[in-house]
Amino acid sequence: MKTKRLVMAGVMAMALAGGAGTALALGDGTAQTTTAAADGTGSVAPAAATAVTASTAGPRVVQPYRPVEIGQGAKMGLLPQGRQNYVVAWEDFASVVEQAKGYVGDSIRANSLSGGLQTDGDDALFTGAFRTDTVPSRITVRVGAGPEQAAGMLMLPGEPGWGTYYLDAAGAGAPKETTVVTAYGADGAVLATLSFEPFAAGR
């Protein structure tokens, strides 16, 4: 299955089309293919992917390389190698994770967000990473004047200083207005924001 992922930091945006599980990551201003999945010994984690719902009480802590179902048949995995290194894969998650171990990841600025979008017909899937001094209590995605929608969040054990978010917007179609992603602290303070204009994406 072909995939395309667009990842932004600030106003920078780049896209890359490739095979199943490939992604574009922004690392020091350069395009990188990321893929990735195994446990800490290099073998594939035997547990089945775990479904996770959107959270308003902070990220769910997951083990490295563990596949987490994020909607539309996609699985997300976080890697301890690199900087803000994670993968989104529809097929062959183990291969995608293994390859991603050699990549830098998003490498986003402190107190900022990266963002990505995959579309397939009317289905949209938002994904990205956060890197903040304070762990977000919640992350939301808003398209145009629409409502803020709570995204699911994942983080590795300990205090890695980063994590990921995702929002399954099945049936919503590709955004036709500005998309704004916002990370909030427990006190409601804004920790980081990211906005991007409509773009063509697919998978």
List pLDDT tens digits, range 153-193: 999 999 999 999 999 999 988 899 999 999 999 999 999 99
Residue 170, in any domain of the structure: yes
User: Which percentage of the chain shows pLDDT scores above 90?
Assistant: 61
- What average pLDDT does the segment 194-199 reach? 87
Number of domains in the chain: 1
Residue 166, in any domain of the structure: yes
pLDDT tens, residue by residue, 47-57:
445 444 455 58
Residue 45, in any domain of the structure: no
**Residue 203 — very low, low, confident or very high, per pLDDT cuts 50/70/90?**
low
User: Which percentage of the chain shows pLDDT scores above 70?
Assistant: 70
Residue 19 has pLDDT above 90, yes or no: no
Residue 44, in any domain of the structure: no
Range of the domain at 149: 3-38+50-196
Residue 202, in any domain of the structure: no
Q: Transcribe the chain into DSSP letters.
A: --EEEEEEETTEEEEEEESTT--EEEETTEEEE------TTSSPP-SPPEE----SS-PEE--TT--EEEETTEEEEE-SSSSS-EEEESS-HHHHHHHHTTS----PPTTEE-EEEEEETTEEEEEEEEE-SS--SEEEEEETTS--EEPEEEE-SS--SEEEEEEEETTS-S--S-EEEEEE-TTS-EEEEEEE-------
Residue 73 has pLDDT above 60, yes or no: yes
Residue 203, in any domain of the structure: no
- What average pLDDT does the segment 54-79 reach? 92
Residue 145, in any domain of the structure: yes
Residue 192, in any domain of the structure: yes
